[in-house]
A and B are shown apart, each in its own frame.
Chain A
């Protein structure tokens, strides 16, 4: 069971903006550990989408953005496109567990 909680699903029409929350606690996000985000298209390996809370790797469009505040983080996708339909996971570190790295529960984004 993950210590980072995400909504199971979010949806939006093409062109709309959707946000995905990642809620942690004082032993992970709230302790100041950075949050990273991954996109997993159906049947493929995860791909790094955001690192260090809000940084985009080369090739990730600027309609994708990340932020962090307190014990939570968010991923926003603007100008939603059909190719954004995928699973999204946040990741951080938790100081209270044996687990060195922790992932969020995952969110399925559906483009209506």
Chain B
């Protein structure tokens, strides 16, 4: 059974840092592109970053450029999100999601999410 379990969320002050983790199991983690998708309270879904298998390609939205870093450790079946210079608008539930490579990639499995709150 495919499982994705996020951890590391919490309350952080503006300008602070946080590192999220996503532990994967039930599939060959190294073969898949992995992603972080966030959802601000009461809002819709927003894709944030993507890392390809073997970490060859990394994609992100403009608003996190230079602040967020996505990485993976295939030996540990884990995905990470290092978030620096956090802003109030980064407050959201962060989901890790597995992507299926298709004509237009889609997300077939999601974690339960971890809440990040940026507030003073």
Contact B61 A99, beta carbon cutoff 8 Å: yes
- Complex CA gap A106/B44 in Å reads 6
Interface residues of A in 32-49 (CB under 8 A from B): 33-36, 38, 40, 44-48
Contact B45 A103, beta carbon cutoff 8 Å: yes
Chain A residues close to B by CB (< 8 Å): 2, 33-36, 38, 40, 44-48, 51-52, 57, 89, 91-93, 98-106
- What would be 10 A-B contacts, judged by CB atoms less than 8 Å apart? A2-B44, A34-B102, A34-B104, A36-B104, A36-B106, A45-B95, A45-B110, A91-B45, A93-B104, A101-B35
Contact A103 B44, beta carbon cutoff 8 Å: yes
The interface residues of chain A lying within 8 Å CB-to-CB of B1 are none
Question: In the complex, which residue of chain A has the Cβ closest to the Cβ of B105?
Answer: A101
- Complex CA gap A81/B51 in Å reads 38
Task: With both chains docked as a complex, state the minimum distance between the C-beta of B60 and any C-beta of chain A, in angstroms.
Answer: 8
Contact A51 B44, beta carbon cutoff 8 Å: no
Contact A45 B104, beta carbon cutoff 8 Å: no
Give the top 7 A-B pairs by smallest Cβ distance, nearest first. A34-B104, A36-B106, A101-B47, A45-B110, A106-B44, A103-B45, A100-B59
Give a binary string over B90-117; 1 marks a CB under 8 Å from any A CB, 0 the rest.
Answer: 0000010000101111111111110000
Which of B60, B104, B111 contacts A33 (CB under 8 A)? B104
Task: With both chains docked as a complex, state the minimum distance between the C-beta of B22 and any C-beta of chain A, in angstroms.
Answer: 12
The interface residues of chain A lying within 8 Å CB-to-CB of B102 are 34, 51-52
Contact A34 B103, beta carbon cutoff 8 Å: yes
Contact A92 B110, beta carbon cutoff 8 Å: no
Taking A100-B61, A103-B45, A104-B44 as given, write out 7 further A-B residue pairs in contact, using a Cβ cutoff of 8 Å, ordered by the A residue number. A33-B103, A99-B61, A101-B35, A101-B50, A102-B47, A103-B44, A105-B44
Supposing A46-B45, A103-B44, A103-B46 touch, asked if A52 and B110 sit within 8 A by C-beta, the answer is no
- Complex CA gap A78/B46 in Å reads 28
Which of A48, A92, A103, A105 contacts B104 (CB under 8 A)? A92
- Complex CA gap A103/B37 in Å reads 10
